[in-house]
């Protein structure tokens, strides 16, 4: 698997973990939309997927390796944090 494909594969592998936590579904959709590049339909692969270089950057900052696949438990923890932050910002 290429260095750029590993983070994308990790996201795909983590989707079932999110599906098991219905309280995070909306948060996952919001965060997914935030990561999808604007006007994604104008660039190959013509799908609303996060940029591979951004996922590699995230893998580097979290795991120290751009080729490290996302761990499902880490995704769930991050989504819980995002949900809490979104709620906290609405209260302000």
Domain ranges of the chain: 5-91
Angle between helices 5-19 and 52-63 (to 10 degrees): 80
Entry pTM: 0.78
Side-chain half-sphere exposure of 12, counting CA atoms within 13 A? 7
Contact of 86 with 27, CB cutoff 8 Å:
yes
pLDDT for the residue numbered 29: 93
Please, what is the average pLDDT of the chain? 85
Q: Which of 86, 91, 88, 69 is nearest to 29 (CA)?
A: 86
For residue 70, what pLDDT is reported?
A: 85
User: At 82, is the pLDDT very low, low, confident or very high (cuts 50, 70, 90)?
Assistant: very high
pLDDT tens per residue, range 15-45: 899 999 999 999 999 998 988 888 988 988 8
Higher pLDDT, 3 or 59: 59
Q: What is the pLDDT of residue 81?
A: 96
Higher pLDDT, 46 or 79: 79
């Amino acid at each position: 698997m290429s260095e750029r494909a590993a983070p994308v594969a990790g996201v795909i592998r983590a989707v079932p973990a999110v599906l098991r936590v219905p309280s995070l579904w909306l948060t996952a959709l919001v965060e997914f939309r935030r990561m999808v590049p604007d006007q994604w339909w104008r660039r190959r692969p013509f799908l609303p997927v996060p940029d591979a270089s951004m996922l590699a950057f995230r893998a580097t900052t979290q795991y120290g390796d751009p080729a490290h696949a996302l761990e499902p438990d880490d995704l769930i923890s991050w989504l819980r944090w995002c949900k809490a932050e979104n709620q906290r910002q609405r209260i302000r």
